[in-house]
Structure 1
């Protein structure tokens, strides 16, 4: 597993990461979320020994990453898909990495096949699209068959088929008992992929919980009701203890009352209903609510959840992550 305790990083007066403590456990996908500038990439780099912490420590399998003689056999990571020499072929890039960690050459062909790059294995990486470079970075992370994997924005640049592939790959890796730690701004994908979620805001942990619990507790879960007798229905539902809000189009958003009870009350009072639909909360909604006050890079004129959506919803890498 990955264990982070009291991890802090300061750059002069600026605190990039502030006393983080959390554990990433094997056998599940842990999503690592937060607005641009929250400290996600800095944290991952400290776990991998690429950035020296000001205080605290990050251990992988009970040891600092730097303590491993052949680290790629223990930890695989994709932090930057562009960090590949453009003049090398995909095959020779992976072969050189394998040689550096005493990894069998056969693994090169296996990971090329698993990431869908076999047909372009002899092409120079400089001609690869961003999505192909992402696949190559994932192949390099898998090369040593490590038990711990870290991915920073792995779906960036992938087409819809590639996005589905990486979703299935991450879940398969977790099902194999590996520790899978994934940073992403793609809320829709994290909702489908992650079992657990850790959210940073301004360098601090603000959420560390199961994905289902986070979505349930942090987002709206209500019932949408459309009726030509909306005013009368609202009075009936309010009298039963419901919280009723009128939507801009005249529909009723009803909370604190069961879906079936709403229908029963309408029937008992002879009120017509044209639509009755339970609305489940979403990861995006829960995320925007919890991070609304944590956004660092907000465009002028943007505020509230809308501003947070603009800052946090982009799929690509942001400045100061």
Structure 2
């Protein structure tokens, strides 16, 4: 092992070197400064402890025989506060009486003075390799714990989504039962059944009226065909999203534009303003977050399909079957819209955690 190979291991590590001999400390620090990312020195144990109050180091190398506080006392105090701290002891032959005590403290290695360069390099290689391995283990453990927390949160979100979809199925079944109870009538009879004002109601009242007769008469003759066309376009784009490799930002933005046009038609009528506002909000969020939409398409697709399906049933029930309650499907559609928006906004800018093992 030469210094160049050792540097590949130590180049990202920090070192605190404790030595009272000025000349030895200065000479050895020159070597250490080329090997370690950062180096710091102290002339005795007391100063070393003061430095450790402010900073942490991957490795501490300390002499035994020093004034004010020796290396044995320093090592005891360090191990009391930082039990896993890596420490290498430098000692002379006549200081071997301390070795058993230091072994009991968990000192990593011992180096005899004067230093033999090859032995010094081998010792540093052994200890620093162990330090790097421990750092990698901590890093991977942290990444795994973070990933597990995110997966747990995702499971909670998916469970919540399943509950929402279960409730939606119940709502759809209930609504279908109500619709099936309505007698089959011609469009004109259905209009008369739900009308609250006479046929001669003035068209100038349309935008502010809650009269279903006026909505049927006006929308059938003017906007209903455009709503149907937009629904088909929206459904076609959604079908493309089911083939995830075909998703493009252009398609997502086209979807947002069609939803916006749909909401603008509904916004002309007081009775549909609430639904119009929600659809408009969805269009705005999709337009601002096309990348998030693409990344989360697998979660959004089923909700989008549910919304489109219910939107079509709402239009047919209202203007063909003549349902009495024009807002019968609002809750179902608005729930889908709000859930899609939550998914888009929660995942905006979020980066997934990727683990790479070697």
Q: TM-score, normalised by structure 1?
A: 0.24
Q: Which has the higher strand share?
A: 1
Larger radius of gyration: 2
Q: Which has the higher helix share?
A: 2
Larger RCO (CA within 8 A; separation ≥ 6)? 1
